[in-house]
Structure 1
């Protein structure tokens, strides 16, 4: 199986069929878990499958991209009260090695009732195009993250995006460069200043580029999982899932 096929098979076994025996051979025995609430190792994931079944939780995958041995899924988990909210929006990242799933990272955020832009956290294009531009688009987005979000050279923002064409799915930010800048100003006024924004995982496929970043916002550790869509050499659309990093976890692997 390809990395995508392997990850989809695991997701199906664990979250749709609720079958630990089917999931077990798809996992490395020393599977590394970064979800703060689940123990590391294959047994950690397998042990929560009965709770997933009992909760009635369902999974909808909106997008899936892959590069090398990494696979990123943009998911909605419904009936997820047992895991924190009735509906959760998530980015799940898996690393595949030697034909099994070896590592998992995720970020989860409660689904909001409304958004500033009027777009949901998951709607919009999902088709992967421009495969020949994967590396070019990856470099563009990483430059945007480091220069604009990371603060290295924010004045270069128009090198990366058209100020008028930036479709926003973050529930608290409006469209366009003006919407982004207004949100950054508003967050700063509330003491939510970003003083660290360091990419840890970057996965690109064609017109989509995903970046998971380790951040400090308002003096506290946060994880930002962002997905951008690129068109004609400019960033045109953005989805994200943002979550604080807890001080205590069910393992010693950290968030990243």
Structure 2
């Protein structure tokens, strides 16, 4: 083969590699894009960023925002009318091959706690879900709704941790097998859900108290489960006190048992700005 042909072949290979690398964004790339979408696109109204990083046929599940990229741009118009202005503070960000989870404290018509879930294709955001809850300062466990561990560790245990948390939701929260809770959760479990007492026994007493008070509580469907290392997020639908709700739970696993928990619980509305529902 001539030097010219060799050089051309090398250039073609380099171009192919470059194109492939652009299309195949990594989970780290997706995390950076998701954070920038919140901080730059939504909180600062950077429409050029949205046009560059959100797919035109973007699927929206937030009840207030219309579907598609144009719907998201319209939502930015709405956000810019709010006073005080929108603020976002991402605290925990983790990802798998196609999803990014962001746990954030936010100012959005009052102090809020938000768990966002983004789905990516080829480096662009193609779908979004979230649950938004008022931030409760005076909690039953004495912990804030967003404090606690943020460091991602145990990357080699991602799959086993995801399996553990999935089984907890299916066995205990959906199946009602409260007696099995010790198989999944540590005794010194740290609780950030605002109305639930601290520790594993505190969780048991809360669930038993609901039953004794005839307050309906059930997880009825489990949707997406996303994990990276010691963090796992579960997205579920259910009932609380007779009201349909979205349960977004964030779990931290340590040494094979769940050690810490956060959540955002949102009532499922009857009216949406789109036809996609919350799930």
Q: Same fold (TM over 0.5)?
A: yes
Q: Is the contact made by 2:43 and 2:87 (CA closer than 8 Å) also made in structure 1?
A: yes
Between the aligned partners of 1:193 and 1:24, the Cα distance in structure 2 is: 43
Write out per-residue CA displacement over residues 11-59 of structure 1, whole angstroms, 9 at most, x where no aligned residue: 2332343111221121111100000111111111111213323321110
Please give the secondary structure, in 2, of the residue aligned with 1:136.
helix
Corresponding position of 1:107: 131
Corresponding position of 1:36: 63
Corresponding position of 1:47: 74
Aligned ranges 1:124-135 → 2 under 5 Å: 124-135=148-159
Please give the secondary structure, in 1, of the residue aligned with 2:79.
helix
> Which ranges in structure 2 are unaligned for 5 or more consecutive residues?
1-24
Corresponding position of 1:235: 258
1:9, distance to aligned residue in structure 2 (A): 2.5
> Which ranges in structure 1 are unaligned for 5 or more consecutive residues?
none
Corresponding position of 1:118: 142
Question: What is the Cα-based RMSD across aligned positions, in Å?
Answer: 1.5
Write out per-residue CA displacement over residues 160-207 of structure 1, whole angstroms, 9 at most, x where no aligned residue: 112x21100011011112211221123234443224432101000000
User: Given the alignment, which residue of 229, 232, 251 partners 2:274?
Assistant: 251
Corresponding position of 1:58: 87
Deviates more, 1:4-13 or 1:227-236: 4-13
Corresponding position of 2:54: 27
Between the aligned partners of 2:112 and 2:141, the Cα distance in structure 1 is: 19
Quickly say closer, same or farther: Cα 1:115–1:73, change in 2 above 3 A. Answer: same
Q: Is the contact made by 1:15 and 1:58 (CA closer than 8 Å) also made in structure 2?
A: no
Quickly say closer, same or farther: Cα 1:195–1:120, change in 2 above 3 A. Answer: closer
Task: Tell me, yes or no, if structure 1 residue 94 matches structure 2 residue 118.
Answer: yes
Q: Which one has a bigger Cα radius of gyration?
A: 2
Corresponding position of 2:210: 187
1:152, distance to aligned residue in structure 2 (A): 5.0
Please give the secondary structure, in 1, of the residue aligned with 2:138.
coil
